Amino acid sequence: MPTGPAADHRSTAPLADPEAAFAPGRAPVMLELVDEDGTTVGTAEKISAHLPPGRLHRAFSVFLFDDRGRLLLQRRALGKYHSPGVWSNTCCGHPNPGEPPFVAAARRTCEELGTAPALMREAGTVRYNHPDPDSGLVEQEYNHLFVGLVRGRLRPDPDEVAETAFADSAELERMCGDLPFSAWFPTVVDAVLPAVRELTGSPDW
Domain extent at residue 86: 30-200
The binding site consists of: 50, 57, 94, 112, 139, 141
| Rounded average pLDDT over 98-126 | 98
128 pLDDT band, cuts 50/70/90, is very high
Inform me whether the pLDDT recorded for 201 exceeds 60: yes
Does some domain include residue 106? yes
Confirm whether 176 is a catalytic residue: no
Task: Check 141, 163, 176, 198 and give the catalytic one.
Answer: 141
The binding site for Mn(2+) consists of: 50, 57, 94, 139, 141
Task: Say which residue, 80 or 65, is predicted with more confidence.
Answer: 65
How far is C-alpha 175 from the chain's CA centre?
17
**Amino acid 114: pLDDT:** 97
Does some domain include residue 113? yes
Does some domain include residue 14? no
**Amino acid 132: pLDDT:** 84
Task: Check 36, 45, 91, 92 and give the catalytic one.
Answer: 92
Q: What would the pLDDT profile of 17-53 be if each residue is shown by its tens digit?
A: 343 444 445 678 999 999 999 999 999 999 999 999 9
Does some domain include residue 9? no
The binding site for Mg(2+) consists of: 112
Q: What would the pLDDT profile of 73-92 be if each residue is shown by its tens digit?
A: 999 999 988 889 999 999 99
- Looking at residue 146, which CATH number applies to its domain? 3.90.79.10
Query: What's the number of domains the chain is made of?
Result: 1
The residue among 98, 112, 79, 90 whose CA lies nearest residue 30 is 98
Q: List, as own/partner pairs, every contact residues 5-11 make where C-beta atoms lie below 8 angstroms and the sequence separation is at least 24, other chains included.
A: 5/162, 5/163, 7/85, 7/162, 7/163, 9/75, 9/85, 9/87, 9/178, 9/179, 9/180, 10/179, 10/180
Does some domain include residue 10? no
**Amino acid 12: pLDDT:** 32
**Amino acid 26: pLDDT:** 60
Does some domain include residue 7? no
Does some domain include residue 140? yes
| Rounded average pLDDT over 45-70 | 97
Q: What would the pLDDT profile of 141-190 be if each residue is shown by its tens digit?
A: 999 999 999 999 999 999 999 999 999 999 999 999 999 999 999 999 99
**Amino acid 25: pLDDT:** 52
The residue among 12, 5, 15 whose CA lies nearest residue 163 is 5
Helix (H) or strand (E) holding 176: helix 169-178
Does some domain include residue 22? no
* pTM check: above 0.85: yes
Inform me whether the pLDDT recorded for 57 exceeds 90: yes
Confirm whether 92 is a catalytic residue: yes
